[in-house]
């Protein structure tokens, strides 16, 4: 997970670059979503969720994962999906 940009003294773009490199090393979209979620929670000190949507996910050959519109999500998320 990337360090808190405010505490490490490094520019934010370096943290984003590091996150991108970490995402590329992960085996599937589910692991990537988990890393994004943890990173956002740590950096912003908040609760975070990542939703993927059909028809783009799940990717061929990857394990089944909950995707929109089939998985439960907040009203705001579903509204964004429809727009």
Reported as a pLDDT band with limits 50, 70 and 90, residue 63 is: confident
For residue range 5-58, list pLDDT tens digits in order: 556 678 889 999 999 999 999 999 999 999 999 999 999 999 999 999 989 998
Residue 74: what pLDDT? 87
Torsion region of 71: left, alpha or beta (phi above 0 gives left; psi -120 to 50 gives alpha): beta
d(CA 41, CA 35): 10
Residue 66: what pLDDT? 85
Burial class (CB in 10 A: 0-12, 13-18, 19+), 37: middle
Q: Where are the domains of the chain?
A: 5-82
Write down the pTM of the prediction: 0.78
Reported as a pLDDT band with limits 50, 70 and 90, residue 4 is: low
């Amino acid at each position: 997970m990337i360090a808190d940009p405010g505490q490490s003294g490094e520019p934010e773009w370096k943290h984003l670059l590091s996150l991108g490199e970490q995402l590329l090393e992960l085996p599937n979209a589910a692991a990537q979503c988990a890393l994004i979620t943890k990173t956002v929670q740590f950096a912003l000190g908040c609760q975070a969720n990542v939703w993927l949507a059909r028809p783009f996910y799940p990717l061929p050959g990857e394990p089944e994962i909950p995707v929109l519109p089939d998985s439960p999500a907040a009203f705001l998320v579903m509204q964004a999906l429809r727009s």
